[in-house]
Chain A
Amino acid sequence: MKILKEYKYDFTEIIHGYNNRSLKINLSDMKIESKQISEEMKQKFVGGKGFGLRYLWDAVTPETKWNSPENEIVISSGPVGGITQYPGSGKSIVVTLTPLNDTPMDSNVGGHFGPLLKFSGWDALELQGKADKEVIVYIDGNEGIIKIMESNIETIDSHILSEELTEMFAKDETDKRNYSIVSTGSAARYSNVAMLNFTFYDVKRKKVRLKQAGRGGIGRVFNDKGIKALVIKYEGVKSDLNNPANISKINRAGIRFHKEMNRYDDEQNGMRKIGTANIVEVMNDYDLLPTHNFKFGSHKDIAKIESKVFIEKYITQNIYDGCWHGCSMSCAKAADDFKIKTGPYAGHKVIVDGPEYENAAALGSNIGVFCPETILELNFYCDTYGIDTISFGTMVAFAMECYENKVFTKEDTGLDLSFGNIDSALELIHQIADGRGFGKIVGMGIKFMKKYFIENFDADPKFMFDIGMEQKGLEFSEYMPKESLAQQGGYGLTNKGPQHDEAWLIFMDMVNNQIPTFEDKAEALHYFPMFRTWFGLVGLCKLPWNDVTPHSNKYSKEPAKMPEHVQNYVDIYNGVTGKNVKIDDMIEESERVYNFQRIFNIRMGYGKRTNDKIPYRSMGPVTIEEYLSREDRYDKQLKEIVGYNLTNKSTEEKMAVLREYRESQYEKLTDAVYKRRGWSKDGVPTIEKLKELGMDLPELVDIVSRHL
C-alpha cells in the first residue's frame, strides 16, 4: 500500500498507568502530532471517556455536525487499562459526535486495541478530518512508527477485513496475537447505527475475534472520515507494563477475584459458559424481557431461546474466552463453525461472537423471533456489517409494530413486517447494509423513522412518540423499564440516551423494593451512574463488578453495591496510580466528567429537561392489549395507590388515568434526581455544583450561565 504519511516517535516510560501524552492524527492534512497530557487534565478527566470528551470539546463548536471535518473519534483506555492481574481490564472508550443527533456519544469496547495503544506510547488517539482516499492507519508500537497508507483493499465487512489485515501485517502465526484491528462494515456507508469492531486474536482457535463499540453510530463517522481500518501492533505484553505504583496490591485483588470466580461462577451466573446471555430466561421470568417492541415482558416460546439452548447446541464450551489477558470471567463466548443461510455469506461457516444477552433479546424476543439460529445469523451479520445489535433490534421492533398497526403496508415496503417474520428480519439487515429498499429507512434509526413515517405515511405523531423506543436519538437497550420508575430514570436521566450502562436498578426497585421513595431512587440514580461512569474513565469492564458475588456480600448493609468488589477497585486504582483515594473520591472523579458531558450536551443544544423525556411505552401501557395483559397489576395500582374508583370504567378511561399518574411520577423523580445531582429544575448543573467539584472552568460557567 502507498504510504501517504510516516511519523516516527520516541518512547517514554509509562508511569503509574500514564504515558502522559496522546496522539492526534488529522486525516485532512495528514498532520500527525504528539500532545502532552497535563496533570490538570489527569486530575479533572482521569482518562478513557474523560479524555475523549475533553478532546472532543476542544475540537468542535456548537455548530459542528457528525460529518463535519472537525468532529473527532477519540479512543482511550485509561490508567488501569492493560493490567493483566484483574479481570475486565482491556476496555477502551470511544467518543465522537453521533449521527443520531450531533451530540457526544461514548461507547465502551473490549478487544486489544486500547491497551496496545497505551503500550505503544499513547494514552489516547484523536482522529480528526477526512481523508481524500480511503486510508489505513498503522501504529507499530515496537518500532515507534505511524503510517497512513492508501488502502487498496476492496473488502468491507469486518469479519473478513480484520482477518485479511491481520494476515497481511503479521509476519507469522505467532505474531498475530500482537495485533488489533479497528474497522466497521458495509452498513457504515448508509446507517446511523453503524458501529466499530475491535479485534483480538484468539490464539487457541487461530481466529480473529470481534468486540463492538456498538452504541451511537460511531462506525458511520469512521467511514465518513475515509478510514478503512486502524491497525496496531505491540509485541511484549506483560503484567507490569503500566509500571504500577504498588503491584502487590493489584496482585492480591486479582487473586481474590480469580478464586471467587472459580468457586462461585458455576452456581451463580455461569459467565464462563454463556456470558451475559445467562439472564435471557431470568428476564422472561421477571416480566422484563422486551417482547414485541417492549409491549410485553415475557413470551410463551422462551424455552426455544433460553441460555441452555445456546450452551448445549451452539456455544463452544470449555475454552478460554477472555477478550483481554487474564480475564477469568471469560465471557466473550462464541459459536464456532456456524453455517450461514442467507445473504452474501450463505454457506460459509463462520465464528459468531455472541450472543450476549442484549443480542438475544434484541434479535430475538423484541422482534418476535424465537429461533436460536436466526438470532445467531442476525448477530453475525450485525457484527460483520457493522450494525449495533441493540439498535437493530429496537428499530426493527418499532417498524414491525408500525406495520401491524397499518402505518404502512407490504405494498409500501415490499416486506411483511409482522412480528416474528424471520425472512423479513434477515432481508432488512441485508438491505441496511446495502442502503437499499426499506432497510435504508430503518437503518437511519427510530428518530429518523418517526419523522419519515409522519411525513410519508401520515402516521399519528403521538403514536409514533409513544411507541418509538428512542431518546436523544439513541434506541433503548433491552430491558423493560415499564414497572420500575427508577429504571425509567436509569434510561431517561442519562447523558447519551437510554443505554443501561449508567444504571440498572430494576431488581433493587421493582423486585427488592429497596428504594421506595423518590429520595431513595434519586440517591441510587446518583451513586450508580457515577460509580459506573468511573469504569469508563480508567479502562475497566463493569461485568466483574457484579456478575459474580463474593460470600461476604450477604453481610453487607448495601449488597447491591458489592462492597468487597468496590474495595478491589479502590485497591487496583491506588495500586496502579499511586493515589490514595477512597470510593467517595472515585465518585467525585466521575461527577466531574459526568457534569462536563451534561454541559457538553447543553452546548450542542440537547441536554436539558425536555430532552430527558421518555416515550410512554417505557412508562406504561400504550395500547389496550398491553393494559389487558397486566390488567390486575394496573387495576390494583389505580385502586390502591391512585385512589381511582374503577366501577363502570372502560379500559380507555383507566389507561388515561394511569398515564397521567405515571407521567407525573416520572416528573417528580426528575425533580428529585436533578436536586441530588446539583442541577437546576431544568437539568442544568449549577455554578455552585461546578465549584464544589472544581469544575468551574470558564468555558463551562459560560454555558451554564446562559441556561440557569
Chain B
Amino acid sequence: MFYLNNREEEFQEKLTVTKLIELKKYTYKKKIVKINDEFINPDEYSTTFIEDGDDVKILHLLAGG
C-alpha cells in the first residue's frame, strides 16, 4: 500500500511516477510531484519507482478562470 494525496492506493511492483500518472489519467501539465516530501523533477518521472508505504503527492495547479 502507498498513499496518493493522502488516499490509500494498492501497491504495485515497478510502478514508476510516469506509470502512476498514466493510470490516474493525470494529464494536466501543471503539477508538482513529491514522494515523502522530496520533489521529483519531470525528467525523473520515468525512472522513479514508488515503494511500499510511500507518501506520494501529485498536486495539480489549476484554480480556474
Is the beta-carbon distance between B63 and A507 smaller than 8 angstroms? Answer: yes
Contact partners of A559 in chain B: CB under 8 A: 32, 59, 61
Partner of B63 from A267, A269, A528 at Cβ < 8 Å: A528
Known A269-B30, A357-B65, A554-B39; judge A512-B60 contact (CB<8 A). Answer: yes
Q: Are B64 and A282 in touch, CB under 8 angstroms?
A: no
- Contact B25 A553, beta carbon cutoff 8 Å: no
Per-position 1/0 for B1-31, Cβ under 8 A of A: 0000111000000000000000001111110
Determine, out of A28-36, A161-169, A453-461, A543-551, the stretch whose residues face the partner at the interface.
A543-551
The residues of B that contact A562 with a CB separation of less than 8 Å are: 61, 63
Q: Within the assembled complex, what's the spacing in Å between the Cα atoms of A503 and B62? A: 11
What are the residues of chain A within 8 A of B7 when measuring CB–CB? 513
Of all chain B residues, the one with the shortest Cβ separation from A331 is B65
**A507 vs B24: C-alpha distance in the bound complex, in angstroms?**
14
Give the residue of A356, A503, A549 whose beta carbon is less than 8 angstroms from that of B30. A549
- Given A512-B5, A513-B6, A516-B6: A279 in contact with B29 (beta carbons within 8 A): no
A559 to B58 CA separation, bound complex (whole angstroms): 12
A547: chain B residues at CB < 8 Å are 65
Beyond A513-B5, A554-B32, whether A546 also contacts B59 by CB under 8 A is no
How many B residues touch A, CB cutoff 8 Å?
20
B62 is contacted by which of A267, A281, A546, A554 (Cβ under 8 Å)?
A546
Chain B residues closer than 8 Å to A553, beta-carbon distance: 32, 61
Q: Are the C-beta atoms of B63 and A286 separated by less than 8 Å?
A: no
Rounded to whole Å, the gap between the CB of B7 and the closest CB of chain A is: 6
Chain A's nearest CB lies how many Å from the CB of B14? 24
Report yes or no: B5 in contact with A285, Cβ–Cβ below 8 A. Answer: no
By a CB distance below 8 angstroms, the chain B residues around A276 are 65
Q: Give Cα distance in the complex from A281 to B26, angstroms.
A: 11
CB under 8 Å from chain A, chain B span 26-63: 26-30, 32, 39, 57-63
Contact with B along A512-524 (1 / 0, CB 8 A): 1110100000000
A504 close to B (CB within 8 Å):
yes
Interface positions of A from 342 to 378, Cβ below 8 Å from B: 356-358
CA distance A560 to B62 in the complex (A): 7
A560 touches B61 (CB 8 A): yes
Closest to A543 in B: B65
Are B59 and A268 neighbours in the complex by a CB distance under 8 Å?
Answer: no
Q: How far is the CA of A9 from the CA of B62 in the complex (A)?
A: 46
Q: With A513-B5, A513-B6 given, is the CB distance from A285 to B65 under 8 Å?
A: no
Task: Determine if A279 and B63 form an interchain contact, defined as CB atoms under 8 angstroms apart.
Answer: no
Chain B residues with Cβ under 8 A from A609's Cβ? none
Taking the complex as formed, is A15 at the interface, i.e. its CB lies under 8 A from any CB of chain B? no
A362 CB, nearest partner CB in chain B, Å: 13
Interface: A21 (CB within 8 A): no
Interface residue range, chain A? 35 or more
Which residues on the A side are within 8 Å of B62 (C-beta)?
279, 282, 504, 507, 546
Interface presence of A145 (CB below 8 A): no
Check if A560 sits within 8 Å of B6, measured CB to CB: no
A516 to B3, CA, bound (A): 15
A94 to B19, CA, bound (A): 47
Q: Does A681 sit at the interface, judged by CB under 8 A?
A: no
Looking across the interface, which residue of chain B has its beta carbon closest to that of A546? B63
Is A542 on the interface with B (CB-CB < 8 A)? yes
Please give me the residue from chain B that is nearest to A281 by CB atom: B27
Query: How distant is B18 from chain A, measured CB to nearest CB, in Å?
Result: 16
State in angstroms the CA–CA spacing of A554 and B59 once bound together.
9
Is A500 on the interface with B (CB-CB < 8 A)?
yes
Q: Are B60 and A511 in contact, with the CB atoms below 8 A?
A: yes
Who on chain A is nearest to B25 by CB?
A285
> Is A508 engaged at the interface, CB distance under 8 Å to the other chain?
yes
Q: Which of B7, B26, B28, B62 has the most CB of A within 10 A?
A: B62
**Distance of A553 Cα from B57 Cα, bound (Å):** 15
| Residues of chain A contacted by B63 (CB below 8 angstroms) | 504-505, 507-508, 528, 545-546, 560, 562
**Which residues of A are found within 8 Å of B30, using beta-carbon distances?**
268-269, 549
Chain B positions within 8 Å of A516 at CB level: 6
| Bound-state Cα–Cα, A489 to B11, Å | 34
State which of B25, B27, B59, B65 has its C-beta within 8 Å of the C-beta of A512. Answer: B59
Kindly identify which residue among B6, B27, B65 contacts A500, using a CB–CB cutoff of 8 Å: B65
Q: Which of A271-321 contact B (CB under 8 A)?
A: 276, 279, 281-282, 285-286
Q: How far is the CB of A353 from chain B (nearest CB, A)?
A: 16
Q: Are A268 and B27 in contact (CB under 8 A)?
A: no
Task: Write out the residue numbers on chain A whose beta carbons fall within 8 Å of the beta carbon of B29.
Answer: 267-269
- A588: shortest Cβ distance to chain B, in Å? 21
Q: Report the bound CA distance from A506 to B65 in whole Å.
A: 12
CB neighbours (8 Å) of A356 from chain B are 65
Q: How distant is the Cα of A282 from the Cα of B31 in the complex, in angstroms?
A: 13
List, in ascending order, chain B residues with CB within 8 A of A504's CB: 62-65
Residues of B within 8 A of A543 (CB): 65
A553 to B31, CA, bound (A): 10
Nearest-CB distance from B4 to chain A (Å)? 9
Closest chain B residue to A561, Cβ basis = B63
Residue in chain A with minimal CB distance to B3: A513
B5 & A511 in contact (Cβ 8 Å cutoff): yes
Chain A residues, CB < 8 A from B61: 507, 546, 549, 553, 559-560, 562
Q: Which residues of B contact A503 (CB under 8 A)?
A: 64
Q: Kindly provide the distance from the CB of B38 to the nearest chain A CB, expressed in whole angstroms.
A: 12
Which A residues touch B59, using CB under 8 A?
512, 514, 559-560
Q: Are B5 and A282 in contact (CB under 8 A)?
A: no
Tell me which of B27, B28, B63 has the highest count of chain A C-beta atoms within 10 A of its own C-beta: B63
Measured CB to CB, the nearest residue on chain B to A553 is B61
Q: How far is the CB of A390 from chain B (nearest CB, A)?
A: 12
In the bound complex, CA of A542 to CA of B32 (Å): 22
A282 engages B28 (CB within 8 Å): yes
Nearest Cβ distance between residue B16 and chain A, in whole angstroms?
A: 19
13 sampled A-B residue pairs with Cβ under 8 A: A268-B30, A282-B27, A358-B65, A504-B63, A505-B63, A507-B28, A508-B63, A511-B26, A513-B7, A545-B63, A546-B64, A547-B65, A554-B32
The 5 closest A-B pairs by CB, nearest first: A504-B64, A513-B5, A507-B60, A546-B63, A554-B32
15 more contacts with CB within 8 A, not counting A281-B27, A285-B25, A528-B63, are A279-B62, A282-B28, A285-B26, A286-B25, A286-B28, A357-B65, A479-B64, A504-B63, A507-B28, A512-B59, A513-B7, A546-B63, A553-B32, A553-B61, A559-B59
